[in-house]
Structure formats: structure tokens, C-alpha cells
Amino acid sequence: MPLTVQDTIEFDIFQNSKLIAGTNGLQREVTGIMVMEAPDIEHWGKSGEIILTSFFALRDFSDAQTKEFFAKVYKIGIAAIIVKMERLVQLIPDNFIEECNKYNIPLIKIPKKTKYEEIITKVMETLINKNKILLDYYYDINQQYTKMALDEPKPKDIIDYLHKMIGMHVSLSKNLQPAFCSTDPTLDDFQVIRTTTLPKKKYTSYEYIQRLVSYTCIEKEAPQSQLVVEVPSLGTDSYQLIIHCFNSRMSAENFMVLENTVNFLQMELIKNYALEQLHLNHINELINDLILGRYHSDDEMLEILDYLRFNESDLFTIVTLDIDDHLKVSEGKWKESTTIALEFSKCINKFWKKYVSLIKKGKIIFIIANDDDELTFKEQITSGVRSLAGRSLFANQPKNISISSKVNCRDLPVANRQANNILKLLRKGGKWNKIVSYHDLGIYRLFLEAGKINELDSFIPDNIRKIEQVNPELNRTLKVFLDHNQNFTATADVLYIHPKTAKYRIERAVEIANIHLNDPEELLLINIGLRVLEFLK
């Protein structure tokens, strides 16, 4: 238990003392004692200190200066003022008493014969003894947790021990979900009314928050208090330890247990995170080997499939998210990419249960076992993306999504190349926020399979380039004209122009580029060139 002002004035040395003001502040915690020699208390005063004084330093203060001084005393958190009347100061001014009552600062008058040294010695001796007891208690709890670590405790074991030591129910929340782990699950349903950050105490190293809450399981009762502390951890998960105080006071001993518990929980969470990362790295290596064909035999490939919980008979589609470049810069951006992967995984899980994912160089790669046809598969991916539209991180991040054709396990490297090539094609065209399947590409698959993605513009014939320089509208008209079997009326209908205008534009394009509309070989090259030009534009 902490030393309070009430405890202090019950010492024998204060037998003939008198409480003048600040009765409501007797439960203030005492952390030290100091003799006031000068009124600049803001430079040397500390929270919890008792001030010994004769008020000689304040004898010439005006009423305004007195108010200012006691406001500082209150702001600093001075526990109490002990005053001894000396030869030069015979009376405590009324405005001093008023200010002490105003701020609930205990003002204690002691006889002239009482020595400062005796008071200081008694207070400091008591504090030292209490501090030693607290430190011994901290050490004992630390030893208990050290022994517990050998048994590899689960989070529930740790909070059960905390509950036993402090006599209050405890919850461990994960990502602001209170029901993760609790000594009494009925207390995990509550509404927060008010939140206050508590000042740090001498032996606390974490930031504590006091919450006033209304519990669903307790009807028609006044709001209850909680003590909440963040448990530092690695990764994207956040943890909070919640003490259901029910307006009970947390003793110094309870804080010792709590500090030890947070330390121990942090170490356990870091250990578990390290093990998860080790496992994840191994999984990532296996997925990478699978999609790049980096295995030495068919048996090794089948072992990888089995480890990833796939079967040899499964058919697979690779879905790759290409995240815009700025996510590749720092560790913070890597965490954002991880968050996007987790969000998208939830959508995939709605439709398919067998899948794995890999974050690699700004891309998020999913291997999905499925029996869907290509159209249905793309529709479900699109539906998943739409369901994430309201989530700011996923919605605001520029990205492309590629979908490979369906392949067997041995052709996964082929599917991986397809998905990557689609993304290269989209980047080449400067396109973002697209969902494109390999089946959608049509004629562009020729370029992908021939490895000519980076040379697309070389497939545009010179005569088409020439038309583009003179009047791009002529190329658009020419493409529609060729797509509609060289029918002027159909071309005019599509472009919302008169058939004579369509005929004029085609004649102009033929004249500029010296096109032979009866030559099938030339028309094939022009058709390809016009499509490449349209894509690049």
C-alpha cells in the first residue's frame, strides 16, 4: 500500500499537530518530503512531496501571487504542506487556508518544538521500507513468471495467474476485440463512457488508461471502472490488458504484479511472433519454389503440395495483386502490404477454402485450388474486390489484379508467368485498378507468349503511325470500319456520324497510308497495329 498523507499525520511525531485545511486531500500519496526555502516551487517541487515550511518565503506575497503559488502547488501534485510557526511568522494567512481548501491540499500546523529533521527522518524511513517491500514483491512475482515460462504458458494461463494475484477479473483483447481471452467472458460486452490517461507512478513504466464503462451483463447498475494497458508487440496485431476494477482501488502491490504481467506477456507475444515468422518464411520459400518450378523431382514437388495442404489432382489459378511502387519503400509500407493481403484473404475465403499467399517485391500472390470456370472465377474475384471498396487502405491503394488460366500442379510456373505478364502489360499501358484474366487478353496473349511485352509499339505499322500523326480520329474510324466488315453504315452508327462522313474518313486514311483494303495480309497487320495502338493510348 502507498504511504498517504493520512498515514503520515498518524505518526507519533504529529501527535500535537493540527489539520488546518484540505481535509479532502488526506488520501494523496506521499513520495518524498522537502523543506521550502524559496517560493519558486515549479523548479524543485515534485508530485507526491510533502513541503515543510514556515511560510517565511511567502510573507510579502500579494493576494494574486498567493493564488498563483497555490495553483502551481496543485499542478505539480504536492501531497501536503506542513507549516511551523517561527519568530518571524506568527499566523497562517486566511487566504493561504482558502487556497488549500480550494485545491484539497492538506495544511498541517505543527508545534514550534517539533524538529524538521525528525519529520524528514520518519517519512523517508517509512518510504524506504515500503519501497523495499515493493521491490521485493516485484522480484518475487518476476521469479514466478520465470518459472511459468518453462511450461510455455498460453495467454489464458497468464491472465488466470494475474486474476489470482490481484483478485480482479482480467481480459486480454486482440485488435480491439475484447473476447480474445478472459477470466470472465460475461464482462467482455461493455460500452465505454469515458476514457482518462493516468499519470505515471514511480514504479510504472507503461501508460495506463482508466475507463468508465457500462457492462451489458450488469443491469441498472452505476458505471464501473476499468484499467487498460497496451501490451507492446511486434507485427500488425495489437493487444490490450483490461482489468475489471469495479471501482476497487489498485494497490501499489497490484501495479507490481501488473507491470510484471505486461513484461511477461510482451516476451511471450514476441516469442510467438518470432515462431510464426519462422514458419511463414518457410511457407513463403515453398510457395516460391512451387511457382518458379525450383524443385529437383516430381516427388519433391508433391511433398511441397502436401505441406501446403494441396492435392496432386487439384487445379489451380494464380491471382496476383500488383501494388503501386510506393509500398516497396520501407518496413512501414511492408506492413501496409501485409494488411491488404489479410483483407483480401478474407474475401477469397468466402469462395475458396484451399489457398496460400505470398508477399513478394510489392506483389501479393495467391495460389487458389478451385473447380470454377474462368468467367465464374473472375466474377467472384471482382465481387471480393467490391466488398473491400469501403476499406480505406485497400480502396485508396492503386493496384492491378491479374488472374492466370487454370492449370495443374506441374504447370504452376506457367500460370505464374501468365499472371506476371498481365501485370507487365498493364504497367506498360499505364493502367491501374484493373482486374484482368489471361483469357481476357485475346490477341495480346501472342505477345505475352512470344516474350514481346516490352516491344509492343514495334507492332504498330508505319502507315498507322502516319495516320495517327495526321488525325488520330481517322485511326479510330478505320478500326471500327474493319471490325464491322468494312460496312460504312454500321461504322457510322457506332461513331454517331453520317455514313458519308465515315466514307470520307476511310478514303482519307487509305490515301494517307496507301492502304490496300483487299489485301488480307496487310489488313491483319493493320488490325493488330490498331489494337496495340489503342491499348498503349
pLDDT, position 448: 65
Residue with cell 470472465: 184
Report residue 380 as a C-alpha cell.
467472384
- CATH classification (class only), 152-272: alpha beta
Strand, helix or coil for residue 334: helix
β-sheet bridge partners, residue 192: 213
Q: 292: how many CB neighbours lie within 10 A of its CB?
A: 12
pLDDT at 334: 52
Residue 409 in contact with residue 314, Cβ under 8 Å?
Answer: yes
What distance in Å separates the CA atoms of residue 303 and residue 419, rounded to the nearest whole number? 24
* Residue ranges covered by each domain of the chain: 5-125, 152-272, 293-454, 460-536
- Burial of 344 (C-beta count, 10 Å sphere; 0-12/13-18/19+): buried
**pLDDT at site 332:** 47
Contacts of 295 (CB under 8 A, 6+ apart): 289, 301, 304
Contact present, 271 and 21 (Cβ < 8 Å) = no
Q: What is the mean pLDDT of each run of 10 residues along the chain (537 residues)?
A: 86 89 91 89 91 85 92 94 74 89 93 88 85 75 82 89 91 82 90 89 84 83 88 83 88 84 88 85 93 94 95 96 61 64 87 92 90 94 83 71 95 94 81 88 67 66 89 91 91 92 92 89 86 74
293-454 and 5-125 share a CATH fold: no
The one-letter amino acid at 206: Y
Domain spanning 293-454 has what CATH number?
3.30.70.270
Backbone dihedral region of 249: left (phi > 0), alpha (psi from -120 to 50 degrees) or beta? Answer: beta
What is the Cα–Cα distance from 51 to 78, expressed in whole angstroms? 7
> What is the pLDDT, as a whole number, of residue 369?
97
Grid cell 480520329 in the structure block, residue: 473
Tell me which CATH homologous superfamily contains domain 5-125.
HprK N-terminal domain-like (3.40.1390.20)
Q: What's the pTM? A: 0.54
